[in-house]
Structures are given as C-alpha cells and as structure tokens.
Structure 1
C-alpha cells in the first residue's frame, strides 16, 4: 500500500484544510443553517402529525408513540454517548507514546490522509455513532411498548419452557437490548483502538510486548463487558430463538437444536462469563494470554457446536430415523402452527358424508338444467375490468383503476355486484398548477356499479340496470385510493370541481400562519402560505389515501392489499382488513405468502403468527377512521390485547359497527390465502404422515387467462367469491372458494390433477372457514376422481368447436381471454364455471362477455348465460338428498 504524502489528504479533509479561516467560518455557518432548516422541517412535520392525529382520533396515539420513541432514544443516546465518548476521552488522555516507537505502513498512510482531521474525527465519531444508534433503537418503539404491555397467555412452550408471551413480547425486546449493547461496545472498542493505534500505545504486530498496559486494560474492560452481554444473549435470546429454528424439516426446536445447540449455548454462555472475568482481571493482573486463549476456545466451541456438530448429528442420528427421533417435536410444530394461524378453528368434513343431514352447501336443482344451479356466480371477473369501467363510466379528472366484487340485495335477491370508485387522477387534470391540484380537483366522483352475474346483450357491463339502487348523500370521494401524498385544501375562496362543498370538520383548520407555514415547509411549496384563496375557514385534508391514512394512524397493524367500497346508509365507506403478526411464535411454521398481492403488508418480512383481528373503515367523504375489533380472531389475540392496553379506546367492538356496513364484511382475503397455503401441509395432524408428505396438498394452479395457456398465474388459483343457496335455513350465502390438488408446494413435479379438497370461506360470517375434503382423491378405493382446475382447462382446450370459435373471435387483432375459474360446490359434486371475454384493439376498447363455459363429469357446456351452459351439459341430475330433491324440478334429459 503506497503511503500518502501530507499533500494527499482525503478529499473532504483537503477541502477544509485549503480554506482560509474566514472561508471555514462561512462553511460552518452554512452547515449550521442547513442543519437548522432540516431540523425545522422535521419539527414542522411533527407538528403537522400532531394536528392531523387530533382530527382522526380522540385516542392520544401520537403522544403515546412519541413518548415511547423519546424514552428509547434518550436511553440509547445517553448511554451510547457516555460509553463511546468516555472511551475515546480515556484513550486520548493517555497521550502519545515515545516518539521513537516505530509506525506501521497503515498508520503512516492514515496519518497522511487525515492529518489534524484525526482530532475532529475523535470528537465527531462518538456523537455520530450515538445518533445512529439512537435512531435505530428508537425505531423499535413497538417492541418496547409490547414488552411493557404484554401479558402471559397461559400457554406453556414445550421443551424450551416459558409462556408464549415470553417469545411474543419479551424475546424481541431482549434481542433489541443485547444487539444495541453489543454494537455500542464494538463501536467503543473500534474508536478506542483507533486512538491507541494513532498514539502508538497499541501495537497490533507486537500486542503483548509493545502495547501499553493501561491501554490494554482499557480495551480489556470493554471486551469483558461485551462478553457479559454475549452471555446474556446466548442464555436469553439465542436459546429461546431455537423455537424459531429453520434448520430442519419444520420450524422449531427439534432433536438437534435441543441436544446439540442448546447445550452449546449453555457452554458458550458460561465461557463468555469466564472470558469477561479474565478481561476485567487485566485491570490488576497481566492475564492477556489467558484471556486470549479463553476467547479462542469460545470461538472454536461456537463454530463446532453451532455449525459443524448440528449437521453431523442431523445426518447420522436424525435422518436415518426421522419419524422416531423427531416425532414429539413435530407434534409441537403441528400444534403451534395450527394455533398460530387459527387452523384449529376450521371445520373439516368430507364432501361425501354418510350423514342423513343434507350438506350445508348442497345446491337445489333448477328445472331445465343438467346440474344444480347456484344462486349467483359472478361472470365478470373484477381484475381485468378496470379499463372497461374507465371507458364506459369515466369522468373528467377522475380515473377508475380498481374494480371490487361484493354482494348486495337487489329487489330482495342477493346478487354479486361490481363496484369501482372514480378516484381523483393527478395525471389526468385538465389544467396543471398548484391551485388546480390542491384547491379545485380535490375529490373523486362516486361509484360505477354493475351486476357481476349478467351483462347487456352486447356483452358489456349493464350499468343502467342498477340505476337508483346505490344512491348516496355525498358522492364526492375526498378519501380513497390513488391519492397518496396528495393533500387537498377545502373551504377556500376557490370553487371546487362541479361546485362541490365540504361540510364536515374533520380536516386540519388552516387558521394560523403557523399551520400554513408548517404545510408549506413540509411540502416544499410556498403556495399554502401566500395564497389568498386559503382563509381561516379553510381545512387541510391530509393523508387522503386509505393505506397512507391507516398506516400512519395504526402503524402497529398490517393491512391487506385491497380496500373496497361499501354503500350503506347513504354513504360510501371504505373497508379494509387489519392484521397482527409476529415472527417469534414458538415452534410455528413461517407463513407461505405465495399468491399475495405485492402491495399487501403481509409480503413485507416473514411471520409465523397471524390474526385478522381488525376491520378498519374510512368514510370516503369526511375521512373518519374506525378500527373495529373482530369477535373470534380479535378476541383471541394477545398482541391486539397488548395494543389495546397501549392505546385504550383505539378499538371499537365490531358489534357496534353499523349493520349496513357489517352486512358487507368478508373473510379477510389475505388471511384466506395464507391459511389455505398453510393447510396444504398442516391439514395433517399425524406426525408420521406429516413427515412423509404422503397427504400433502397444494393450492390448485391458476390456469391463467390466456387461451393458449401460456400465462399461468403464480401463487395458485385465487379465492373466488359467489352466492350459494344453502339447505341450512340461512338462505343464500356469500362464500369464497379455493381448491386443492394432491401434491406439495415444495416440489413442482409432485402435484396431481385430481381435486383433493376445497376451502369455503363464509364471507357473511367473516371469520368462518370450512374445509371440504374429497374421499380418496387418488382413486385408490375405486371411486371416481374429481378433476381439478387443470383437468377442466385441458377439457376446454381440447374442445375443437371452442378452438374454432376462439380463432374467429381473434380475427382482426381482437384479444380473447378467460375469466376466473370458479369451482361451484354442488352437493356431493362440484362443477366449474369459466367465462370467456373478447376485447377489440384500440385504447378505448371495452371487454365483452361472449360465452360462459360450464364443466362437470368430463363434459363442457357452452352458452350465453350460465343457465344455458348448464343445460348444454346434457347429463342426468346428480342424486340429491331427499330433503333437497323433494323441492327440485326434473331437468331435461
């Protein structure tokens, strides 16, 4: 390494050194001003947050959160600054060693690069390091609050001991503490060592013979404290973290973890205490060699016991007899996983039951049809219909980007309906500028609504048929989707689009120069401060995007990917699912999140505990936010219990939710996807069957929408909602269905085409999930197999008449695509429904429903409606339970 000369300073050092005293003063003043501006902006943002929180909740969420941040930050700042600062001060206080002590090449290079800047560094480094650690520790305020408010669950953790709450609430906090202390001491050691090297009181090449005893004692104390911290880490954190080990065939403490790694951690903790005592003893005795030997032994045992031996024991002891050795630990994993994802609450029954009681979802047979007809199956898939809705129902300065599927009573009958919000469109404003963006075009324009189970004669959505069914008092959507980081100021002297007025008081009053200035400073815009349109009667509507609003108000919750609008009591209300998660639930498997939308919070980081405990609502007009606690999952959620103690009054019992909104709740979609992903393996409760994988399922593959079959969607077929008649006296129910095939998600070559089961999520209940299994899906008992979605798609692809029709429809460049593959439970049988769409070329082309396909017993029926497609199956009626068959008509042969 070439040694730098005194003229080869580091760039920043050289820049400062070459300046005159006046120039350095100017630079310092500019730096202070910049720091002041950024600090003032941060203060303005916190003031704006405080005012905003007062408009959305009476609960002191902002204050409680800020106090927790300050508590952690103050502790981290003071202790880190004292330890690192004192360490550097003591190292400098020793002074330089004899001038004739030789310098190494690295030291010469460093001195040449830094020069007098070394002194600045020793002053600035502890401060910057302390600020960095303070910010990192303060960001973990949720860990601190859960540690403080968590309570025992009464559930003991097998093998490792302790209550589940010790892992959910205490383990993350102790991990935070030991990590912070470890990094703090490492930083103090590094800074002190740097000073001692520059002062030549420590020699790395001749550490024992040429190092100053007091310098060595100083570093020994720091190393000793670090050893004690690691001892606590081994005993408390890492030992309990074995309950989340992923080294085996399942998550949790298995044979290897309990016999090898736990013993190693006990040993390492003991040696760490010995190393710490030897290091501290260097204050009076010269025990350097002994301390180094103990530290080396520590490292060797760590490598052997934590990395080498586990692999050897697993290969020689566990692998040859896994079912015997791991059986009790697999039972722990099964029990914990099923509890962590509430899989124990799922009702499981066979599709074909030897039970005189009719199955709860048996469909009555409709006269003139070949199969039982569901009450209403959606034929319009909401996913690809956003552009069609925009073309047919779009308005100026608004845009439809998302279509949602829900159910409503139309003329006394429960029917599936598509709803799409006309949200504000920042990219589609007729005129640009601050005034137009924030004062004029402030809101969306109501909903576009069409039935999902029928279309106009030309195959397009029938918006006119529901005219008058969805009247609302305030169609203006001030709060919704697609308006992130877009504020609006209402009640100004400037008229809003369409002459709208905002008559609520849920915004931030802009009645002082301080509030206007805070907004101007945080947004980097002078307009709010100088505009004559903004008066003392104006209100700031801030954080208008649903996800942005909820994430700021309740950052301790995770929210789903798809808020949907509900029309009830003359208002439009957004509904979204809120979840609590943890990654420290003992012995529970980490979630398989395949199929979740990328914008779902559940895709951000891993977790092995999940509760759908909250239903959040946001009024689309005035932005009122309410967090409702669900009955079953929310009532059995220790994490939400802790947050309820942190923020008393933040959660409202769901029994207090208005009936009109509650009638449109649904089973949480992301929860359903995670649970069904986990059920592929965890529907099995026998450890032997679990380990050999012979009963594994996989969520049926999504055949995609391309007629060539070239775009299979990843993550498995999504749940599809439909209205089903029941024979339980409850009337039609709005349920979501997701099918399984035999096979394993871990092996792409293992899935079989036969249907093995399907999950039914009762949206009308909101927390009820049922699993219907197919007896002997592999056909081993001689029963006829039921084909899965891939079998259905193969039958559709093999229909020559359909292929010819698709070719004709594609003529001229039109695009033919499939809609969702819908599995329809039909008593002891199932049928599949799949719509076919065609879209012409051009930017304003709309999608049309051209055909409905139905599949059962190997045959494909086609028609312009579902009824016609079922009639064209030309199959005999399935045997129905007597109580249902008595009311059923006789279909045509």
Structure 2
C-alpha cells in the first residue's frame, strides 16, 4: 500500500510540474487538450477492447450446455478455473483493455486532426478526392478498422476458448459438434470480422496512392489497372462471405460459409497476387517506360507540390571558365561580402579570445547572421557565451553552486564574416564581457540556452544579497572579482511554498530543493531550457529544425527556431527520410521519420532571459497548420505581429533547404521519359575537405553510412557527409543582391562507376525575410532559383576544385611545410559563387599551432575560376592574382595583410598558430601563366640539406613569432614573420632543386 502511494505521488508530481511549466509559459491549453484527448482515447481504447471481450466470454458462459458430458481433461480444467472464474472473466478483459488503451492514447493527435481537418483545395489524379482525405481521414479510418479487427479477433478467440472449455464445442473424431448458441455467437463474430476486412480492402485502394514502389511513390500502371480493381472485387467478395456467416448463424449450416471463405482465399491469391504479377511481368515490364510515363508525371507534379519546389525558377547558365581581367566588376557587392570566417573552424578562436572563464563555452559550430553596422548590412559569425557546468573546477563544482550560483551564460560575440585582421584573427563587431560593440544595448544574460543546466533556482526578495555569478568583472571585492546578480524575470514555476518545493524535489530527485535555506518565497525553478526542446514541448505537432540560432532583436537575445509541419500521406509524392536528407557534413542522422510533405509553417522565438516561447504562423496557407490552429486556437500568433527587427533576422531554414535540394536533384526533371532514364539525375557533392584537414579536427570519414537510393531505385553514394549549403549575401543571375542560401549539384554518383564531379546545377533561395516593415515578409523571400549548366560544358565541381588546390605543386609544398612545423593546417568551407559569368571558388586556409591553448588563424586564401587557381595572403590579393592583376572588385579583407595587429578582443591563445605569410606574393607559379596561379611542376632535384635547414629556420621563426606575440612585441613578431617567409621561400626552392 505504501509503495502504491509513493508511486502515485511521483506520478502526481510529474503531472503537476508539467502543468506548472506550461501554465507559466501560457500554453496550458496545449497540455490540457493533450491530457483530455489522451484520456478519452485511453478510455475509448480500454472500453472498446474490454467490453467486447468480456461480453464474448460472458455470452459463451451464459449459454453453455449445462448438462453436456465432458471428457475427463475438460472436467479437470473446469475444476481448476471455477474458483477463479469471476476474476478471470474480469481480469483478462481489463488487462487487454489497459494495453489497448495505452496504445490508442498515443494516437490522440491523429484523432484531433481528423475532427479538425482542413481541405487542401487540391485533388488526387486517381480518385479525385481532396488531398486532406489522405492526410487526415484515411489514417483515421484505417486505424479504426485495424483496431476493431483486433478487438473482434481477440473477442472471437476468447469465445472460442470458453465454448471449448464449457462443452459448447466438442471434437469427436472427424466431427465437430457445436451448440446452437455457440454457433450463432461464433458465426456472427466471424461475420463482423470478415466485414471489417471488406472495409479494409476497400480502403487499401486509396492507400495505394501513398505506397512506395520500386519506381516511384504512388499507384503505377499495375496498381491502377490490376491491384485497385482487385481490391474492389475482393472487398465485394468479403462482404458476401460476411453475409454467408450471418446465414449460417440463422440456418445452422456451416458449409456455405466455409465454401465462401475458401473462395475468398482463392480470390486473394489469384486477384490479389497472381494477376498483378502477370500484368507487371508480361505486360508492363517489357515496355515499362510507355506504361508508366503517365504515372511518373503524376509523381513529379505531386512531389514538387508537396515539397514546395513547384515554383522554382530554372534558367540556363552558360558559365565561362576564362578568368579575364575586371571580370568581377559587375559583382562588386557580392565580392565585398564573401565570407572568409568559417563558423565550423573558428569556435576555438572565439573560445580562446572571448570565453574568459572555463565555465563558459561557445558551440562547436557558430551561427551566421547579418546585422546593420553603420548603415551597411554585414554578414556576421555570431555565438552566445553560454554556461557550461562541466567547466567548473572541482572546488566550485558543488550542488549549491550548480543550482544557485552558476545559473546563466552572458553576452554574445560576433565577428565580420568577410574580414580578417592582419594576424589572421577575426575582426569582432561585438566582443568583451559585458559585450559591447555595434549591436547596441541588449539584455545579455542567457538563462535559456543550448547548454543551460538541467535546472537552476533563481530569484530572491528585494534587498537580498546577490548570489548568482553574473560575469567576471576583474574587481577586487568579496565576490572574488565577479559581478553578481539576482534574476528579475518570470522564467519558471514558483518554489515559494512547501508543496511546490516538495513536488519539484520529487521530480528532480533532489533533497536540496526541499531543504536548502537558499530557496525563498520569490524563488523560481528554471528547467527544460534548451530552445528547441521548449518549442517542441509547446508545439508537439511540429518537427523542428536541427539548429536554433541567436539574434539580437528589440534589445534582447532571441533564439530563432524553425518549425515544420509534415505528413507521409500526400498521394503520389515521393517519400524520403528526413535523416538522410538533412544529414550534412560533420553531422549525424538524428531523425528517421519518412515524409512526403513538408512546410516551414512556423517561426518560433525563445527569449534567452525569460524563456518565453512565441510561435508565429509563417505559412498561412498550410492546411496542416490550419488544422492545428483549430486544435490550439491561442497558441500561434499571426505573422503580422512579428517585429521588423525580428523579420530582419529570419532566414530560410537550412534543414528544409536540404530536403528540397535532395528532391530537386531528381525532380528538376519534369519530362517523364527523361525522368525514367535517369540520365539527368543529380547528387549533392560530398564535403570536399573531408580527409584533407588534420584528423584532430575534421569529420570522421570512417563512419559507416547507408547508400542512398533515387526515385528509380539506382544505388547512389552515401549521404552522411554531404557538403553543407551556405548563407552568403550575393547576387544570383536574374535576381538582385540578397542574403542567399545556396547549394551545388554534380551528376548522380553510382557505386563502382567512373563518376564525374563537374558542376551540373546551382540552387539558391532568397533568405531575406525583412526590409518590408513590421509583419511583412520580404517580397523575394523563399524564391528558389536553379541554374543549370549546359550538358556539353565541363565546369569543375567542388571535388575537382579541391583536387586542383591540393595537387598544385606550390600550394602543396607551402601547406606541407606548415604542417611539418609546429602547426597544423585546416582548409575551410569551399564556397561557390556565380560571379564573373562563371563560378568563383573561395576557400580560407587556417593555421593552428599544436601547442596547448592555440587556436586557428586565417592565414591564406585559395581561389579558383575554371582551371585557374591563386593562393595569397588575402582574398583581395588572390582575386587580383586570379583575374590578371585586377579582378574589378574589392574583397572585404582588402588591406588586411598590411596591418600589424588584429581587431580581436582580449584572449589567452597561443599566437604561433601559423605563418602570416606562407608563399610569394604572386600565386607561386613555377611554370604556368603568371596570372593563373597554376604550376608547371617541379623539374629540379631536391636539395635535402638546404631543405632541412630551411625547415629548421621556419620552425625557429614560428617559435620566435609565438614568443613575440606572447610578449606583445609586435616589432619582433614582424621580424619573425619575415624570417618565416624567407625560410618558406628557401624550402620551396630547395624542394624544386633551384
């Protein structure tokens, strides 16, 4: 009894704290609706199973033959069961009912969608029914039929067992004797079951439109002309057989119903199996393209509609490969905004320069955004300085400190994406702690972040001593040089009374919550603090984007989260796995659900200080969102309430774009015959830097992944390390300059084939949602543009360009020299830009010391246009070198190589992270054209003695440079830089035998 009370209390504590959490956020309607719907579904499932099973057993027992002569074995069974009969008759239905109730309770969302369904306004091409029938109604009815079939089957088996046990059914040789009452009961049960199978067969014809086949998703020729008519015929036969069982119940003859059942089984084999096989193998297969073309067209149209790519604007792009002088003059704005700072590499740089304490941290991959700085919109790399309790020292890592002192992160750090300091550090536009710079005044405390503790207890009466550590101030006071604060927001449920403390102590299994005198009448408990988790909790119908990004909006740090409505029941739309589509370079598959419809229906924000979650209706035409707005009418706000500042930071979501690029790789082809042949199918390129960077900081390329399969079933290359799409401010041909998300395509890659890595397509989407004022989306937002290359052209793809970089003699020698010293080299994201009438590739090159506390510094830039490359200290120099001495436009890092120091904030990283000059000022040409940066190869004999001396000199220069920066001796650092440059030049000459 005591154990039951304890269990009940913990269950109550879980429910109570859930309600308190939702109520504090103002989303209690979401929770109560789920509770009510789940409870009703449980009761329906419980009663729907328990009552029929109990009734079936009770009827069999009630009409048992009282004077029937039983054999000795059945007599013994009755003697054993009789004392427990009532318990068994009630217990079995109750247990079965509980399992059924738990199963149906989880289907609450499907039922609510059915009763609040919204038409799509589009019909399927086979039956002419609204798409909403397949998304909302068909799953409901199929579930009802499946559940009812299970109930009737179990009830029938229970009746059969009771009839046998009590003598209503007896076996004697070849005869089976059944009492009249048992005959009626069993025959009616069989009739109901087979009638349900007739309904199931009838519904199956509609389900054929969402079934994945070997060629496409949706009914093909065989399904339309053999399977679907067969289902209709079999449903009719099943209905007749059900009637025959009713006749058996009335006249007492089993033969007609048994014969009917046999005919149904024969029909299932012939009509449902053999006939469709004959049609497929003998009629369709020899001329598959002809027979399936009409159904492929259905699949193409439905797929493009369901994934939101039907409006993509395609245009031919006859890209040149000639890097002529002044070629970038028409793309000056794009060139000036080329991002050099790689958010996947510079996390360590941010940490060493801006982290300040071990209990803070920056994410492994930073975010990109754009901000208005002095009247100009600048692409930025930004990160929140979040709290990290794992960084606490053993002395500070106490339960009290974890709950009451180290409660929040502080501030953001942001750097210009297109600039670098002379020493390779980022140029920060917001830095320090408290942070200051171009982003203005804003609430800097981060109580709700991606690494926030499981729970923190905050708040105190006015006049109480501050106990929360705010930020390191450097002052000499009683707080050990730390500023302190007390939380003044409304971010969590109250702990102001004993009862709340008790239930939360039970929830978190922490006696500290109940007993600590630090908990007071104004205390709040903050938990479930991850921005994505908070959105998922208040909007359970959404699939959220894998990345929440911070933005300074209206003087607050807001986490922006994209929410998707999805379905797997859009007729004829191609089904695919989100995990396969979304998995990118250095990412893992985190979702496995199959979908064939997706919309970015909701934009959500989470306030980093208060934890407030706000949902905005972004796709107002989405029928799935409209349905859920009927279910939770107060949870989603209209887009008109979005502030202009928030809209300025809304962007086209990466995960949706990855799904769409996967679809368009195949479905850019709209001709059924071309689609069937598959000769114009595309793939997203693999991440070109995999395996080129030092293994300590690159993706694990040994991870085993499954191969992908295109719509035609062709085996393709693994998808787990695809190149990421990138955000850049640029001008796409045919459009104006905009904040853009883009990706590239290459021909479809097949295992074991001689695959070509030339560029076949370039997909870009306008990501500028702002600029039109409060509540108004940017006019170009979401516009998809697909550039297609002439099939006769050989435009180098990312892998080919990376190979050009890595195989170039001078580049390879300089990089190898740096790697042999006390440094490692990291090649950053390879960007592709449609400028100069062709495609410009840009890749930053970072150098990092192997010593403790070091961080990557941007030291060189690789660029390519066609087959020509250049390798210089700055992007501006590289572009001029590449385009005949004058590119016609200035890059954002123009003049960065000439200064003496960086624009970074303070930090403690090692400064020997690499050479600031690792090659001659031209592109290092040894035999090619002087403006191309290409090489003619080494022709001399290596002078090993001179090479070793040069390497030793380079190593010493690197060490001297490190020491000089540590001493803040810029003169000595510059002298060491010059010696390093001379040493590299000497090593290059020695290796070439000069």
Scaled by the length of structure 2, the TM-score of the pair is: 0.77
CA 1:247–1:837 in 2, change beyond 3 Å: closer, same or farther?
Answer: same
1:700 pairs with 2:685:
yes
Corresponding residue for 1:19?
A: none
Q: RMSD value over aligned CA atoms?
A: 3.5
Corresponding residue for 2:449?
A: 480
CA distance in 1, matches of 2:886, 2:268: 69
- Give the one of 339, 351, 354 matched to 1:393: 354
CA contact (8 A) 2:314 2:788 kept: no
How far the C-alpha of 1:387 sits from its partner, in A, is: 3.8
Corresponding residue for 1:666?
A: 651
Corresponding residue for 2:149?
A: 182
CA contact (8 A) 1:365 1:373 kept: no
CA distance in 2, matches of 1:496, 1:699: 48
Corresponding residue for 1:495?
A: 467
- Give the one of 710, 718, 727 matched to 1:721: 727
Corresponding residue for 1:844?
A: 853
CA 1:125–1:441 in 2, change beyond 3 Å: closer, same or farther?
Answer: farther
1:151 pairs with 2:118:
yes
CA 1:462–1:203 in 2, change beyond 3 Å: closer, same or farther?
Answer: farther
Greater CA deviation, 801-810 or 856-865? 801-810
Which aligned pairs between 1:698-847 and structure 2 lie closer than 5 A?
A: 698-707=683-692, 711=701, 714-724=720-730, 732-743=737-748, 749=753, 751-765=755-769, 767-777=781-791, 779=792, 784-811=793-820, 814-841=823-850, 844-847=853-856
How far the C-alpha of 1:477 sits from its partner, in A, is: 0.8
CA distance in 2, matches of 1:96, 1:443: 76
CA 1:60–1:421 in 2, change beyond 3 Å: closer, same or farther?
Answer: same
CA 1:531–1:196 in 2, change beyond 3 Å: closer, same or farther?
Answer: farther
Corresponding residue for 1:78?
A: 47
Which aligned pairs between 1:52-131 and structure 2 lie closer than 5 A?
A: 52-57=21-26, 60-93=29-62, 101=71, 103=73, 122-131=89-98
Corresponding residue for 1:351?
A: 317
Which aligned pairs between 1:267-286 and structure 2 lie closer than 5 A?
A: 267-286=233-252
1:262 pairs with 2:262:
no
How far the C-alpha of 1:424 sits from its partner, in A, is: 2.5
1:469 pairs with 2:443:
no
CA distance in 2, matches of 1:822, 1:750: 25
> What does the per-residue CA deviation read over 1:54-102, in whole Å, with 9 as the maximum and x for residues that have no partner?
2223672222222222332222222222112222333444669967526
CA distance in 1, matches of 2:271, 2:81: 43
How far the C-alpha of 1:747 sits from its partner, in A, is: 6.3
CA contact (8 A) 1:696 1:743 kept: yes
CA 1:371–1:479 in 2, change beyond 3 Å: closer, same or farther?
Answer: closer
- Give the one of 40, 43, 46 matched to 2:9: 40
CA 1:115–1:432 in 2, change beyond 3 Å: closer, same or farther?
Answer: farther
CA contact (8 A) 2:651 2:768 kept: yes
Corresponding residue for 1:520?
A: 505
CA 1:432–1:626 in 2, change beyond 3 Å: closer, same or farther?
Answer: same
> What does the per-residue CA deviation read over 1:110-148, in whole Å, with 9 as the maximum and x for residues that have no partner?
999999888755543321221121122121111111111
> What does the per-residue CA deviation read over 1:166-209, in whole Å, with 9 as the maximum and x for residues that have no partner?
11111121122112212222332344444445556556896852
**Helix, strand or coil: the match of 2:282?**
helix
Corresponding residue for 2:628?
A: 643
Scaled by the length of structure 1, the TM-score of the pair is: 0.85
1:298 pairs with 2:298:
no
Corresponding residue for 1:408?
A: 371
CA 1:600–1:571 in 2, change beyond 3 Å: closer, same or farther?
Answer: farther
CA distance in 2, matches of 1:285, 1:427: 78
Which aligned pairs between 1:192-591 and structure 2 lie closer than 5 A?
A: 192-196=159-163, 198-199=165-166, 201-202=168-169, 209-210=176-177, 212=179, 214-236=181-203, 238-352=204-318, 374-394=335-355, 395-402=357-364, 403-430=366-393, 431-463=396-428, 467-483=436-452, 485-486=454-455, 488-491=457-460, 495-498=467-470, 499-591=484-576
CA distance in 2, matches of 1:57, 1:292: 61
Greater CA deviation, 271-280 or 459-468? 459-468
CA 1:186–1:530 in 2, change beyond 3 Å: closer, same or farther?
Answer: farther
> What does the per-residue CA deviation read over 1:607-637, in whole Å, with 9 as the maximum and x for residues that have no partner?
100111111111101111111122xxx1221
CA distance in 2, matches of 1:877, 1:298: 81
Aligned pair count? Answer: 829
CA distance in 2, matches of 1:300, 1:729: 63
CA distance in 2, matches of 1:627, 1:207: 70
CA 1:143–1:597 in 2, change beyond 3 Å: closer, same or farther?
Answer: same
CA contact (8 A) 2:551 2:558 kept: yes
CA distance in 2, matches of 1:619, 1:524: 28
CA contact (8 A) 2:457 2:523 kept: no
Greater CA deviation, 380-389 or 402-411? 380-389
CA contact (8 A) 2:318 2:790 kept: no
CA contact (8 A) 2:731 2:738 kept: yes
CA contact (8 A) 1:55 1:506 kept: yes
Corresponding residue for 1:856?
A: 865
CA 1:571–1:278 in 2, change beyond 3 Å: closer, same or farther?
Answer: same
> What does the per-residue CA deviation read over 1:358-403, in whole Å, with 9 as the maximum and x for residues that have no partner?
xxxxx99567x99996122222221243344333332343322341
CA distance in 2, matches of 1:821, 1:829: 16
CA distance in 2, matches of 1:650, 1:364: 54
How far the C-alpha of 1:150 sits from its partner, in A, is: 1.2
Corresponding residue for 1:605?
A: 593
> What does the per-residue CA deviation read over 1:584-609, in whole Å, with 9 as the maximum and x for residues that have no partner?
11111113543514999983410100
Corresponding residue for 1:676?
A: 661
**Helix, strand or coil: the match of 1:186?**
helix
CA distance in 1, matches of 2:872, 2:159: 81
Greater CA deviation, 602-611 or 485-494? 485-494
**Helix, strand or coil: the match of 2:576?**
coil
CA distance in 2, matches of 1:137, 1:239: 25
> What does the per-residue CA deviation read over 1:838-861, in whole Å, with 9 as the maximum and x for residues that have no partner?
333356332222321101120111
CA distance in 2, matches of 1:121, 1:56: 47
How far the C-alpha of 1:428 sits from its partner, in A, is: 2.8
CA 1:677–1:841 in 2, change beyond 3 Å: closer, same or farther?
Answer: same
CA contact (8 A) 2:169 2:176 kept: no
How far the C-alpha of 1:149 sits from its partner, in A, is: 1.3
> What does the per-residue CA deviation read over 1:528-560, in whole Å, with 9 as the maximum and x for residues that have no partner?
233332222222223211122111100011100
How far the C-alpha of 1:353 sits from its partner, in A, is: 10
**Helix, strand or coil: the match of 1:740?**
strand
**Helix, strand or coil: the match of 2:377?**
strand
Greater CA deviation, 36-45 or 336-345? 36-45
CA 1:308–1:563 in 2, change beyond 3 Å: closer, same or farther?
Answer: farther
